[in-house]
A and B are shown apart, each in its own frame.
Chain A
Amino acid sequence: MAHTFKGGIHPDDKKSATSGKAIELLPAPAQVVLPMSMHIGRPCEPIVKVGDHVYLGQKIADSQAPVSSPIHASVSGTVVKIEPRPYSFGTEIMSVVIENDFKDEPDPSLHPLDIDSMTSEEIVAAVREAGIVGHGGATFPTSVKISSGLGKVDKVIINGAECEPYVTSDHRIMLEYPWEVVGGGKLLAKIFNVPEVMLGVEENKQDAYPKLKEYLPEDGSVKLYPLKTKYPQGSEKHIIYALTGREVPSGKLPADAGAAVFNTDTAAAIYRLFTTGMPAIRRIVTVSGSAISNPKNLECRIGTPVENLIDACGGFVEPPKKLIMGGPMMGMPQYRLDIPVMKGTNGFLAFCKDECVTVEHPACIRCGKCVGACPMRLMPTYIYQCSDKGDVEDLEYYNALDCIQCGACTYVCPAKLPLMQGILVAKQRVMDARRKK
């Protein structure tokens, strides 16, 4: 029996364009651009100067803030510029530009780690130093997740749901590097000192099951759990519910439900850290969508301009109408291609037509489909209606802040209401009102 939750939607997953294609290694670019914020939390400060030589994997930026994650050189070479550069959040941000010397000299101080001889504090510090963040897209620093969960967490989950349509990067990792994913799971079991790490994988990736099972340890410290194919099955709260039956309390963290969730690629990154000592410097990105000539899964260095990825996929079939960093349900819209691949970039999509149908005078017909689709069991149409007409009390009454912005309501709406946009406004209003209090 596949595990799941109530609600959700079943969009056409469109994964077949890239799910059968092996990961291709994209040659490192001549220059990488490393934004100072590729994670949730305080942006980093550069600790190198223009003209400095850097090794592959050398730390180039850090911050003392409790929630932050250092950044490492993804090529060896020379720092040529430290200046604001555009990135995927629409604005510019201070970035370190490194000229590649194509030698890929690794930082000599990097070495494999022996988890058995390390205390939990040392493990957290090592994961922090390696700049590992949630690779599923939310990019929450993994070290913070571990340290806040130690002692509280008894259910550790590896999230292999990958419920966003089009995106297949995690799928390919599980197919081609199953030992890294399972190995990461074993390390997480040791870190949290739990008997079992649950590896949840959606049923549309069944071809990965035998590959993963080959590496599952005999002591049962990592176990495979099939998940029903449904969006948003990969939502942190919903994968926890599907696998453990626990609901993360409203406004609280997964650790408050005794659970911690790590993305497949995050688990693989932890494995690589302990076996090779190499920090987070590469990323597997699915490049797909109707406007891409030859959709591919590309392994590229963090900081590679997106334009290089498009080139590697044979360019566009026709001028694209929409560019998206991430998946089509929650991804960020883009308007330029000179932005770098970041730690949380799992996909880049280009569409020939705007697949998001809009109508001129949308009128809610009260069909209730959004209520049925909402994985948080909210009433999206009422939040939407109150977002510009109602009081903040109404928005609180309809629990606007519990929305996880998965977009399921907007996807199903037959009247084509801009529900998501309205709810974003509503959430902002509630947060503003709470701050004033």
Chain B
Amino acid sequence: MYDLSQLKVSNSPHIRSEDNTRQIMLDVIIGLLPALAMALFIFGARAIISVCVSVVGCVFFEWLYCKLLKKPQTVGNLSAVVTGLLLAYTLPVTAPWWMILIGDFFAIVVVKNLFGGIGKNFMNPALGGRAFLMASYAVYMTTWAKIRTALPLFSNADIVTAATPLSSLKAGQLPEASILDAALGMVGGSLGEISALALLVGGLWLLWRRVINLRIPVSFIGTVAVLTLIFHKGDAGALTWMAYQVLSGGLMLGAIFMATDYASSPVTPNGQIIYGIGCGVLTVLIRYFGSYPEGVSYAILIMNCCVFLIEKISQPVKFGYVKPVKEPKEKKEAAK
């Protein structure tokens, strides 16, 4: 006789993959590290302080929300850490700590948890937080420190500012920085968005780990590239104009890390392509015609709101789908 006392009887399937939510979030965090290293190199210790404030703030608000509402604690899935990192990456490095915390609160509590927590938020929390700060503290949000200068760790006194490539592009001119500098991130801009190459390395990591697929990043960046190639400005040719457009601003960060956010992007394969193209079109429209120099964050937020509509029109055609045959009119009338 065998001991069967420890048996569990449950429905199939009886095996599951090793993937889990926490591992996915950890992979995203790892994917964001190269950009953090570049930020440290370009902006110095101030960048690390901003990121730490943001991460700690997000984790704290997540913990507090669950605690106060007596919900199961969700800090362990690390999604708050990802939101904290992403929010800090989209802010100027000189953003004051109290402002970052306000952004954290709005991102974690209002955008994410009030809509039901992880997976239920219809907007990317980090971008929601950024949009809130943009509307509230426009001056702080558009102060761009000159790169490779010593920044005070906490105060905002004596900050040397500089133009970003995007402001030149907005004016229809090519930036002073070389394309190589723009790719490496040796230009002004938000904390974590400036180094396109570091973000691409992170994107490759996510692809290799199968956290994201190519559909959204390629359709997003591809649309921006094609549109800027067709409607080019400046006097150095279409390709140069396109290269600056693609490498500058938040496009890489947005296309690789923000637009691919699971909760606020479509789950259907075709929907992801439609969504990516929509993001690209809106980005170019805002960059060309909007009042802001940068359009990525608003483009993604607007497309976030369309996700359910996109999913409706892009539901996969089921296996074995048969087109319903329309009954000929005579038959219908005969049946009557």
* Interface residue ranges, A against B (CB under 8 Å): 9, 11, 165, 237, 241, 247-252, 307, 310, 315-316, 319-324, 328-337, 349, 351, 354-357, 359-361, 363-369, 371-372, 375-379, 381, 399, 402, 405, 407, 410-416, 418, 420-421, 424
Contact = CB atoms under 8 A, between A and B. Distances in A.
Interface of B is mostly: loop
Contacts of A328: 12-15
Contact of A319 (B3, B16, B119, B263): B3
Given A366-B119, A367-B24, A368-B268, A376 B15 contact: no
A177 B315 CA distance: 45
Contact of B14 (A322, A360, A363): A322
B293 interface: no
A357 B7 contact: no
Instruction: Choose among B7, B9, B19, B315 the residue with the greatest number of A CB atoms under 10 Å from its CB.
Output: B7
A220 B11 CA distance: 43
Given A332-B12, A356-B14, A407-B13, A319 B262 contact: no
Interface of A is mostly: loop
Instruction: Choose among A251, A310, A331, A407 the residue with the greatest number of B CB atoms under 10 Å from its CB.
Output: A407
Contacts of B3: 316, 319
B208 interface: no
Given A310-B2, A371-B269, A414-B21, A420 B11 contact: yes
B5 A372 contact: no
Contacts of B117: 363
29 contacts: A247-B319, A247-B320, A250-B320, A252-B320, A307-B2, A316-B3, A319-B3, A319-B5, A320-B7, A321-B6, A323-B4, A363-B21, A363-B74, A363-B117, A363-B120, A365-B118, A367-B262, A367-B267, A369-B19, A371-B267, A371-B316, A377-B319, A379-B268, A379-B315, A410-B13, A414-B20, A415-B20, A420-B11, A424-B11
Contacts of B315: 379
B320 A248 contact: yes
A421 B12 CA distance: 8
Contacts of A424: 11
B15 A11 contact: yes
A375 B16 contact: no
A331 B72 CA distance: 33
B291 interface: no
A369 B210 CA distance: 10
B263 A365 contact: yes
Interface in B1-53: 2-17, 19-21, 23-24
B326 interface: no
Nearest to B264: A366
Contacts of A323: 4, 7
Nearest to B266: A368
Nearest to B215: A368
Interface in B301-336: 315-322
Nearest to A403: B318
A237 B319 contact: yes
Contacts of A248: 320
A379 B2 contact: no
A335 B318 contact: no
